[in-house]
Structure formats: structure tokens, C-alpha cells
Structure 1
Amino acid sequence: MTPEGLLPDKLLERIRSRAAGYDRRNAFFHEDLQELAEAGYLKLFVPASDGGAGLGLEAAAQCQRRLATAAPATALAINMHLVWTGVAHVLAARGDHSLAFVLTEAAQGEIFAFGNSEAGNDSVLFDSRTFATPEQDGAYSFTGTKIFTSLSPAWTRLGIFGKDAAARDGAGELVHGFITRETSGYRILDDWDTLGMRASQSATTVLDGVTVPADRIFRKLPVGPNADPLIFAIFACFESLLAAVYTGLGERALTVGVETAKRRTSFKNSGRSYAQDPDIRWKVADAAMAMDNLYPSSGPSLPTSTPWPTMGPNGSPNWWA
């Protein structure tokens, strides 16, 4: 399945047409999410045998790149669902099926969100300011505050982690688990109003003794850096998909720049198109070459949706053909 197959032009244009309105109203992308779910987009990593697209990380990144050309905030929020399903995929490919239930539930329509980020925690995954307190039968209760919880209005599964400071003889242990939308003990704050990213609705989530049952605790790791496959999988998926979104954003910015330069005219130069201004041509060429550095050398250069120069009669690039 290609990015164009999963995100046909008509769907992409509908998503693009709504992006500015979401941001203007500080509204969540409900319509985008519904259409993407109906198109099977939330099942990129779900095996084809379970009704998904069966893609790997590289192909999923190309899909996200394409989506970001239409609606960056939508793409960033969808990233959080894809991070968890991608982590499950990456682990399974290495023989670790501890998150097999993530792919199973994604196939059933559940939406996963990423509830790990904490204000002031520059240790990221290697420590936590959230308290994880062991309870009976292997369950844990979590108390703390998570920020940038994208998909806040829509997630049905939220991945969280916290620290059991008394574990490992006082060295501490990081405990990872999932809660559901129906779990009690959490609050979502109405505190998201970020220009250009409003549609993601990445609100703060307050955990106030929320309990994760034993069967939803999927990792216990020592505090500090470690080589557990979960850590590799989270960073691999998060960073790759994030880079894909901003690559798509750059592609769209270049396209809009060319279109705008062609459309606008100069008062002082008798109505000539700004596309004929040498300074503007230089800036567009510089941006295009910067974008070209992002792509693998084994593949094509800029995608067909982005203007790429034809050669002029003197052998120099013609950016405006």
C-alpha cells in the first residue's frame, strides 16, 4: 500500500481544507480523524492478516510526510497513535510480543495516545516525576502530571509511566502501563491554545491515583539509560515519525512559496511577477536544496508534489517552469 493509496488526493484536499479552520477555532480535528479511521490510516502498523496495512516504519513515515503537507497538527497528533502501534510492531519484529495487545486493539478501532512527557523532566524516558505506587495483585497507582497529551479529546488508550522509588533496594524502578478512557482517577485540563498546532489538542493530563491493573503493566525498568528494546523502539518510532511530519511541512512550505511568488506582482517593476525577482528565486532555490538533503540518496529527490526545477536553455535550473 502506497502513501497515495492510503491518502488519495481527494481525501488529502479535504483534510487540507479544514486545517486553517481548526486552528482558528482552537478545535480538535474530529472530521479528519473520522475520515482517516475509515480509510484504515490508523492501522498502518496492524498486520494485513488483521485488517491493517501491514506497513513498516519507513513506509509509515512516508505516509506521515504526505499527511503533514495537508495538516501538520493533524499529522503530529496521529503520530502519537502511530508511535505506540509502531513500537508494538518494532518489538514484535524482534520477537518481543509484550505489546501485541496494542496491535490487536488498534485493529478493533482503539486510539492510542502518548502520556509520557512531563514538565521539567529532561531525563525523558530514563526517570520520571510521576509516582508509581504498587498495589495488590501487581497493579500500580500513578500520581503526576503529563503534558503534551495529543489526541486528548479522542484517545481510548493512554500509555503512561512513573517511578516506584522504593523498588530495587531504593534505586527506583520505572513502571510502564496503559489506562483506558473509562479508567477513573485522571483529569484532562483545557489548557491547549498553541498557534499552528491547536488541532492536536495536546492538553495536560493530571493523574491522581489512577490505577493500572497488572495485565496492563508491560515494563519495569531501572532508572537511567538502558538498552531495553522498548526504549529503542520508542525513540526509533517517535523520532522517525516526528521527522517525517516536519519534512512534509517543509515540502508544503516550499510549494506555497513558489505558488505565492508566481501569483504576486511587483509595484515598482511594472507588475512583474515576484517569481522573476532574483532574490526570491535565490531563496526558493536555497530552500529546495535544503529540502533535498533530507531524502535518502538511493531514492528520488523531491517528491512529485513539490516543484523541482527543469533545466533552462543555458543549462541552469528553471525553478518556475
Structure 2
Amino acid sequence: MGRTVVSELWPDVGDLLPTDALDSIAAGAARADESGRPDPASLDLLRKIGWPALAIPTDFQGRGASLLESCAAQRLLGRADPALAVAVNMHIFTIGLTVEHWRRNSDVSWLLIEAIATQNRLVASAFAEPNLGGSATRSTLTAKQVPGGWEVTGKKYPCSLAAEADLVCLQVAAPGQDGAAPQVLVAMLPTNAPGLSVVENWDAMGMRGSASNTLVLDRCVIPDELVFYQAPAGAEDDDVLAAGVIWFSLTASAVYLGLAESALRAGRALLGTQRIAHLNSTRANLPSYQAALGDPYAALLTLEAGCAAVAARMDAGADPQRLLPAALAVKQQAVRTVPDFVSAIAEACGGASYARGGELARLWRDAQAVRFHPPTPVATRQFLGRSALGVPASLDLDESAPSLASKESR
């Protein structure tokens, strides 16, 4: 990779993610793609440099990275190994969610984040499920109350680093008490808890090294003391939830910005050496090829500026509810901008970019995964459209909008 050039848009996070560590991680990216598993040496290196404590406040023995600094670090990691970056982004998002919860509630959740920092624990995030439509505020897994906790059976998929992490953060549904609305419980469990197992069935086109396997819960009991958040199912008028969605939307977008920069680096190298014989010039020096990348690059720079600006506003104390549409807009733009940018580079490089073992082919495949992270594009599009019209908006897909109609009538 060579020495990282610090962008004017991002803080220098070289102390959090040294250049030599990035170079080592980049060296394992192709191996991870080929094997369909994260490179063990890269994971070990992240632990060695204290990556699990990145976004944990220094008061709790963490590295104290802000959201903007976390995005900057994830951008650099996305340049080195996008699949590893998107996998550990689930850890970053979970830490961000937990810290935001603690800041608003000042409860015993600080014990959890301090333990993660001091014990260098890696957290997997098991919020995705089949048949949810990308919702983060519901679960198809219904927990049954038992003495001391909640018993639950079901599957979480895809769950990045399910087999490699020390802890897993997950949400499950619980019946409401005395006729109240169903609840969603968010808890953190050790991955060696009784009733938890992993089925290694991840075999995707791209992001192959993210190890996004299936987490199976078989009569798994979640102790009451490990439930750190509870809210009505589908409820979104909550600062903690909004802050968590903002953390995920921005840090995930930063990963894909790093991927795009890596594709640009690879494209520069190819275009600078590929010659058009009858013009006696490299493609990089021809106006037609230069112009072909102009608009996609402008879109990428706009996305990068938006991501950094919204992260900075969150760090400055903006209201998460009011900032949420902007953060979701950043993520929604990434869904189009990054794949289009990588495709434009690949097209400019011609058949050389289509080689199965080539870096550009791998990055093109990895870029397609940006379409599938919740909140999904369909749900986000609906939310942003309703926000634009000034009507109540929800990240739950709601084709007939009965819940929104009831809000409007109140």
C-alpha cells in the first residue's frame, strides 16, 4: 500500500492504525478472498494494536476515538482489506451503540464496555435475520421469559465474525407485559454461551473474507443482567437507536470509501501503463479516459465530504433524531456511488480488470455488498421520501402505512 496520505477531510489516525499494520493487513486480503475466511494474522494484528477498544472512551480504558476518527480509521482499513473492515465494523457499530446508551442512561453498561477494552474482546453483531426486510427494531426470534432471563431459539444470518468473536450483540422479541406492545431486547452474550453455535455457510460473491456465517440459538438463555436495552418493537423515536443507526451508516460508508480508494489506486497503476499503440500514449494521458472518471470521482468526493461532515456534527452533539436523515442519505448515496465508481475504473482499464485473480475484480465484487446492509435501500428510500414530504417516517417497511396513519391522526 505504501504510506497513507491523510485526506484533508479526515483526522490523522495513524496512532490508532499504524501504516505498517495496514500494509500487513493488505497483504492478507487476497488470501482471505480465496479462502472465504478472514486472514488469522490480520485478526491477531488488530487485537495486538488494541483495535477492539478503538471507540471506547478513555475513562473506560479505551482508545477514545470519536465517530469521525472511527470513520477515518475504517476508511483506511477498508483500503487495506474491505472484507475484514466490514466484518469488524459490526464491532465498531456495537461499541458505538453501547457507548451512546451509557451516555444517555449512566447505568451499569459501562462495566461491559470497560471489560471489552481491558480484555481486548471482539464483538460480533447479530441484528440481521431472514424475513425482516432490513428492520433493526424488530426480530423474528421470540424469547420466552424463564427464571433469571430469556430463552430463545432461532437463527441469525448473516453474522460477521460469528465464529471468531468473543461476544455477540443481538436483538430478540419479547411479549409485552399485561397486554402491552411486544418488546425488543438487546443483549450481549459470550459466544461460548450454552445453546449458541455457528454454522459456517458463508459463500458469497464478494466480501468473502468477512466470515458472515449463521449464528444458531438453541434454547439459549440470555441472562437478565446482559440485556442492556429494551424498547417497543418497531419503535424508532429513541435517541439511542437513532445514534446507533448513525454510527453504522457512517462507519459502513467509510469502509466502502476506502474500498473505492483502493480501486482508484489499482486503476491508476493499470491506466498509467496500458498503452494505446496507434496513439502512442497510455490511457491515463488520454482526455477520453480522464473524462470518463471525472463524474464518478466527483460523486465519490461528495460522498466522502458528506460522510465526514455528518460524523463531525454527531461528535459536536447534534440531536440524533434530527441528524438521522442526513446519515441515512450518506449510506443511501454510497449504495450507488461506490459500485458505480469501481465499475467506471474497471471499464476504463478494460479486460485487464476482468481477470479472476485480479485486485480490481475482487474490489468490484466486494463493492456490490454495499447494497445489502440494513437499513436496506428499500426501507431507507421510503424513510427519506416520507421525511422529504414532512410526514411521519419509519425504517420499518410499511406498504399500507397503518401505523403511520395512526400517528398522523393523533
Shared topology, TM-score over 0.5?
yes
Measured against aligned partners, the alpha-carbon deviations of 1:101-141 in whole angstroms (never above 9, x if no partner) come to 3321221111111111111102612321001110013x001
Q: Determine what percentage of the aligned residue pairs are the same residue.
A: 25
Residue 170 of structure 1 and its aligned partner are, at CA, apart by 5.7
Q: In the alignment, is residue 120 of structure 1 matched against residue 131 of structure 2?
A: yes
The verdict on how the C-alpha distance between 1:112 and 1:165 changes in structure 2, with shifts beyond 3 A counting, is same
Checking the alignment, whether the CA contact within 8 Å between 1:192 and 1:201 is kept in structure 2 is yes
Amino acid at match of 2:234: G
Residue 74 of structure 1 and its aligned partner are, at CA, apart by 0.8
Residue 298 of structure 1 and its aligned partner are, at CA, apart by 12
Equivalences for residues 94-113 of structure 1 within 5 A: 94-107=104-117, 108-113=119-124
Residue 64 of structure 1 and its aligned partner are, at CA, apart by 0.4
Q: Aligned equivalents of 1:5 and 1:87: distance in 2?
A: 24
Measured against aligned partners, the alpha-carbon deviations of 1:140-199 in whole angstroms (never above 9, x if no partner) come to 011121112111221111111211235351631212212212211122112101233111
Q: In the alignment, is residue 152 of structure 1 matched against residue 162 of structure 2?
A: yes
Structure 2 partner of 1:311: none
Checking the alignment, whether the CA contact within 8 Å between 1:157 and 1:179 is kept in structure 2 is yes
Q: Aligned equivalents of 2:19 and 2:91: distance in 1?
A: 23
| Higher helix fraction (1 or 2) | 2
Q: In the alignment, is residue 239 of structure 1 matched against residue 249 of structure 2?
A: yes
Q: In the alignment, is residue 177 of structure 1 matched against residue 184 of structure 2?
A: no
Please, which moves more after superposition, 206-215 or 99-108? Answer: 99-108
Structure 1 partner of 2:289: 280
The verdict on how the C-alpha distance between 1:103 and 1:170 changes in structure 2, with shifts beyond 3 A counting, is closer
Checking the alignment, whether the CA contact within 8 Å between 1:28 and 1:153 is kept in structure 2 is no
Checking the alignment, whether the CA contact within 8 Å between 1:133 and 1:164 is kept in structure 2 is yes
Structure 2 partner of 1:313: none
The verdict on how the C-alpha distance between 1:297 and 1:205 changes in structure 2, with shifts beyond 3 A counting, is closer
Checking the alignment, whether the CA contact within 8 Å between 1:258 and 1:284 is kept in structure 2 is no
Aligned residues: 298
Equivalences for residues 182-197 of structure 1 within 5 A: 182-197=192-207
Please, which moves more after superposition, 246-255 or 98-107? Answer: 98-107
Checking the alignment, whether the CA contact within 8 Å between 1:23 and 1:195 is kept in structure 2 is no
- Residue among 66, 72, 79 paired with 2:89: 79
* TM-score normalised over the length of structure 2: 0.68
Residue 231 of structure 1 and its aligned partner are, at CA, apart by 1.2
Structure 2 partner of 1:17: 27
Residue 255 of structure 1 and its aligned partner are, at CA, apart by 2.1
Structure 1 partner of 2:237: 227
Measured against aligned partners, the alpha-carbon deviations of 1:8-53 in whole angstroms (never above 9, x if no partner) come to 2221111111101110111223211111111122211122344421
Measured against aligned partners, the alpha-carbon deviations of 1:56-79 in whole angstroms (never above 9, x if no partner) come to 111111110111011100100110
Which SS does the other structure have where 1:3 is aligned? Answer: coil
Structure 2 partner of 1:305: none
Which SS does the other structure have where 1:121 is aligned? Answer: coil
Structure 2 partner of 1:142: 152
Measured against aligned partners, the alpha-carbon deviations of 1:265-315 in whole angstroms (never above 9, x if no partner) come to 224434x21112322111222232122212338989xxxxxxxxxxxxxxx
Amino acid at match of 1:5: D
Q: Aligned equivalents of 2:271 and 2:264: distance in 1?
A: 11
Amino acid at match of 1:68: G
Q: Aligned equivalents of 1:260 and 1:182: distance in 2?
A: 47
Q: Aligned equivalents of 1:171 and 1:95: distance in 2?
A: 22
Q: Aligned equivalents of 1:267 and 1:294: distance in 2?
A: 36
Q: Aligned equivalents of 2:57 and 2:176: distance in 1?
A: 40
Which SS does the other structure have where 1:125 is aligned? Answer: coil
Checking the alignment, whether the CA contact within 8 Å between 1:167 and 1:173 is kept in structure 2 is no
Q: Aligned equivalents of 1:156 and 1:29: distance in 2?
A: 17
Structure 1 partner of 2:101: 91
Q: In the alignment, is residue 263 of structure 1 matched against residue 278 of structure 2?
A: no
Checking the alignment, whether the CA contact within 8 Å between 1:84 and 1:102 is kept in structure 2 is no
Which SS does the other structure have where 1:42 is aligned? Answer: helix
- Extract unaligned runs of 5+ from structure 1: 301-321
Residue 227 of structure 1 and its aligned partner are, at CA, apart by 2.1
Q: Aligned equivalents of 2:129 and 2:42: distance in 1?
A: 28
Which SS does the other structure have where 1:79 is aligned? Answer: helix
Structure 1 partner of 2:36: 26
